[in-house]
Structure 1
Amino acid sequence: MTDVTPDPRDPRPLIGEPLALDLLNTRWAGLPVNDLLDGVEGYGIWISSAGLGGRCTADEAGLAAIRQAREAIDRAAQDAREQGELGPAARDGLDAVLAHGRIRRSAGPGGAEERIEVDGPQWLAPWLAADDFLALLGQGANRVKQCAHEACILHFFDASQNGRRRWCRMAVCGNRAKAARHYVKARG
């Protein structure tokens, strides 16, 4: 979880996961599926909630780039869950986003300094999210999870000691599942 204060306009049910998963969570359950990135205004809300307000601006070019990143990360997260590694299409999707930026290292007065450089301002948030996803994979592909509740499509990073977390939020999805099991058992 991040230490960023979410934008009060942010309607999402789960906020504050690592940047890459927070981006995936711009879609959440509903009929039709809710999508915060259905327009520039929603993208601006996500930028604010992600703590990128001072570094990124919401515009059409950025919205297109962040949607590309979200699709690439979604495919990669699915591969990580199902296969434990990324397939060629998932790697290509992430690489297509990452190709728009790089980390420039230099020697500064206090030692090593890093600066992120991107092809254009619209690529900063997508590049940061794709880079964050790779960092999460480095901590264990099996820790990138989708909520186990059948009606939930939210993602989370399982930081539990034993790696057995199943729900995006125990108080909501976990309790729903427990209540459903109890109902079936009681009718049984």
Structure 2
Amino acid sequence: MLGADDAVAGALLARGWPARPLVDQSLGIDLLNTRYLIGGVLYDLLDHDDLTGAWLADRELESARPVPRQPLREARDAVVAVIADPADHAALNALLEHGRLRLAVDGRGRVEHDDVADPRWRAAWACLRDFVAVREAAPDRVRKCANPECVLHFQDVSRTGRRLWCSMTACGNRLKARRHHSRVRGTP
């Protein structure tokens, strides 16, 4: 899981944007959540160099100059496609071609290094590598929020593995309340 969202929080505050929800996800899933919806307004960190740079700094990812927004967007789109259709991994595989794992051995044993020739793709490739590892460890627990109006994704780490919402207080309660009011009013 990720640490603080300090640089991003400061950059969002400077723009007058609301704080990002759900920042406790792994790197590959947090890339998906660089786009979020609050109050019907869609915010996207990858639309701005300063916000993308702050996100990269918070994630301790090396940033090429100019800020690699396009590779990160492509990586995000490929991951969204795989979550929507697990058989649709052509775009993800094509983007993974930008790098490889280089193995070495040290005093502790096996060591893995990312080997990405193009500096613009280093951060995106690290996000993709993380997503592949998360998906491999728990393929059925990486999900999009069940609220159709929400764009957030999460890894379900609950004991039962039946989590549906990015946040019960945000999306879960809202959707349940809407359904309840519809039933009470007798509207479908």
Q: Shorter-chain TM-score category?
A: 0.7 to 0.9
Which of 122, 139, 142 lines up with 1:141 in the alignment? 139
Instruction: Tell me whether 1:60 sits opposite 2:66 in the alignment.
Output: yes
CA contact (8 A) 2:141 2:161 kept: yes
CA contact (8 A) 1:56 1:122 kept: no
Mapped to 2, the partners of 1:35 and 1:68 lie a distance apart of: 14
**2:51 alignment partner AA:** G
1:61 CA drift (Å): 5.7
Q: What residue in structure 2 maps to residue 171 of structure 1?
A: 169
Mapped to 1, the partners of 2:2 and 2:71 lie a distance apart of: 25
Q: What residue in structure 1 maps to residue 47 of structure 2?
A: 38
Mapped to 1, the partners of 2:2 and 2:72 lie a distance apart of: 22
Task: Name the Cα RMSD after superposition.
Answer: 2.0
Q: What residue in structure 1 maps to residue 78 of structure 2?
A: 72
Q: What residue in structure 2 maps to residue 21 of structure 1?
A: 29
CA contact (8 A) 1:6 1:16 kept: no
1:127 CA drift (Å): 0.8
Which secondary structure does the structure 2 equivalent of 1:33 belong to?
strand
Specify every segment of 5 or more residues in structure 1 that has no aligned partner in the other structure, as ranges: 81-85
Q: What residue in structure 2 maps to residue 126 of structure 1?
A: 124
Specify every segment of 5 or more residues in structure 2 that has no aligned partner in the other structure, as ranges: 13-18
> CA 1:61–1:45 in structure 2 vs 1: closer, same or farther (change >3 Å)?
closer
What TM-score does the superposition give when structure 2 sets the normalisation length?
0.83
> CA 1:68–1:5 in structure 2 vs 1: closer, same or farther (change >3 Å)?
same
Mapped to 2, the partners of 1:18 and 1:61 lie a distance apart of: 21
CA-to-partner distance for each residue in 1:51-95, whole Å, 9 max, x for gaps?
Answer: 22xx41264361121111111111111113xxxxx23xxx22112
Q: May I ask how many residue pairs the two structures share in their alignment?
A: 176
Runs of 4+ in 1 over 4 A off after TM superposition: none
